Amino acid sequence: MLTSKGAATRQRIIEGAARLMRERGPAGVGLDDVRAATSTSKSQLFHYFPDGKADLLLAVARHEADQVLADQQPELDRLATWADWEAWRQRVVARYAAQERACPLSALTAQLGTGDPATVAVVTDLYDRWHAQLRAGVQALLDAGEAAPDIDVDRAATALLTAVAGGATLLMATGRIDYMESALSEALDGLRSPVSPAG
Amino acid sequence: MLTSKGAATRQRIIEGAARLMRERGPAGVGLDDVRAATSTSKSQLFHYFPDGKADLLLAVARHEADQVLADQQPELDRLATWADWEAWRQRVVARYAAQERACPLSALTAQLGTGDPATVAVVTDLYDRWHAQLRAGVQALLDAGEAAPDIDVDRAATALLTAVAGGATLLMATGRIDYMESALSEALDGLRSPVSPAG
């Protein structure tokens, strides 16, 4: 266990490394760059990241995975009404439109090796948490009678998740955000109760 | 313009290179490996691919992009009835389940640089053709009265495309195929006319 001061130092190193890796790409950042940018000594760095760069890359990947969800707040945490969902949709599309092709998490997982078990665990955990929040939001719509009553809540959450993930993949490949916009609108419209108002 | 014999030789080199790159990854294949595997001389290779490996990588990427659509045939070309769509869905899911994490086209575009204009053109063209075929299939359902009459055909095709692309992204990241299965089922169910039978 780290002391709270130790945890704060570790977090400061991770955030500094994340900033550098967003600017230059993970392959372009060495431990000396991280030391210089975060004013830490070599022994401090190895105290917190004993395996060196691989450890640090994984910690930054975890940080960037958290950031994917943080960038969807506060909307993601409080999805309940259609207005909440619409606000979330707009935030997600704006976030990815601003990011364009440069997905920091993809760059990190590519550097770590997408098949590496620790990397898979980081990304699987991200998708699990993301899916759970979308699922809770769909359930809230259903409980309020605002969604079609025959909805499969799990599957609906998966459709929303893949609309964002697929939209992001197409954005990175083509530079076009409209795939994500259309796919998210379509997935959300699919949830609407046939008798509920369209607004 | 190549003669038909020249075109056949060029295609033979591309297919041989694609096989090697599927086995070893694009970074692990040199021009000498391609020459040996396809029984071609150095001068032949440079006749067909004057810029060397970059030219060849791009040609293999185009070949693998074509393969993404070819792997969905014959179903993709003849999407009209619900039975056609169901057969297509099964083929797509089986294809990606068999591929697991190893997407040959992703490996190539990563090697070429996803922001490279020629790479973007290859992938954009793939998604355009794919979208057009899905769109034609949705339109056929609509024309036959088998889909909900208020469907936006373009958007529905985009939702199907992102379900596959997002499902593939999640498959590569987590090793799980069920995201794609659920997302595709959800997207297809969304097309159904409320009065049409569910089968």
Contact A20/A106 with Cβ under 8 angstroms? no
**CA gap B169, A76 in Å, rounded:** 21
Query: Does residue A199 carry a pLDDT above 80?
Result: no
Q: What pLDDT score was predicted for residue B55?
A: 93
At A33-87, the pLDDT tens digits run 999 999 999 999 999 999 989 999 999 999 999 999 999 999 999 999 999 999 9
Query: Does residue A31 carry a pLDDT above 60?
Result: yes
Q: What percent of chain A has pLDDT over 70?
A: 96
pLDDT tier at B195, thresholds 50, 70, 90: low
Q: Under an 8 A CB cutoff, do A173 and B110 touch?
A: no
At B50-99, the pLDDT tens digits run 998 999 999 999 999 999 999 999 999 999 999 999 999 999 999 999 98
Q: For A175, which DSSP code?
A: S
- Residues of chain A whose beta carbon is less than 8 angstroms from a beta carbon of chain B are 101, 109-110, 114-115, 120, 123-124, 127, 152, 154-156, 158-159, 161-170, 172-176, 178-180, 182-183, 185-187, 189-190, 194
Searching chain A, which residue's CA lies closest to the CA of residue B153?
A: A186
**CA gap A171, B114 in Å, rounded:** 11
At B22-58, the pLDDT tens digits run 999 999 999 999 999 999 999 999 999 999 899 999 9
Q: Under an 8 A CB cutoff, do B114 and A190 touch?
A: no
Q: What percent of chain A has pLDDT over 90?
A: 75
ipTM for the complex? 0.87
Q: For A28, which DSSP code?
A: G
Closest-CA distance, A150 to chain B, in angstroms, reads 12
Which of A155, A157, A156, A182 lies closest to A167 in space, CA to CA?
A182
Which of A197, A165, A153, A191 lies closest to B190 in space, CA to CA?
A191
Contact A131/A148 with Cβ under 8 angstroms? no
Searching chain B, which residue's CA lies closest to the CA of residue A182?
A: B155
> Which of A110, A120, A182 comes nearest B159 by C-beta?
A182
Contact B85/B188 with Cβ under 8 angstroms? yes
Copy the structure tokens of residue A52: 């060196």
Q: Under an 8 A CB cutoff, do A163 and B166 touch?
A: yes
Among B158, B164, B181, B188, which would you mutate to test the A interface (most chain A Cβ atoms within 10 Å of its Cβ)? B158
> Which of B158, B172, B187 comes nearest A179 by C-beta?
B158
Q: Under an 8 A CB cutoff, do A127 and B170 touch?
A: yes
Task: For chain B, list the domains and their CATH numbers.
Answer: 4-50 (1.10.10), 61-189 (1.10.357.10)
Q: What pLDDT score was predicted for residue B103?
A: 83
Closest-CA distance, A110 to chain B, in angstroms, reads 9
Sequence-distant (6+) residues with CB within 8 A of B4 are none
Average pLDDT over chain A reads: 91
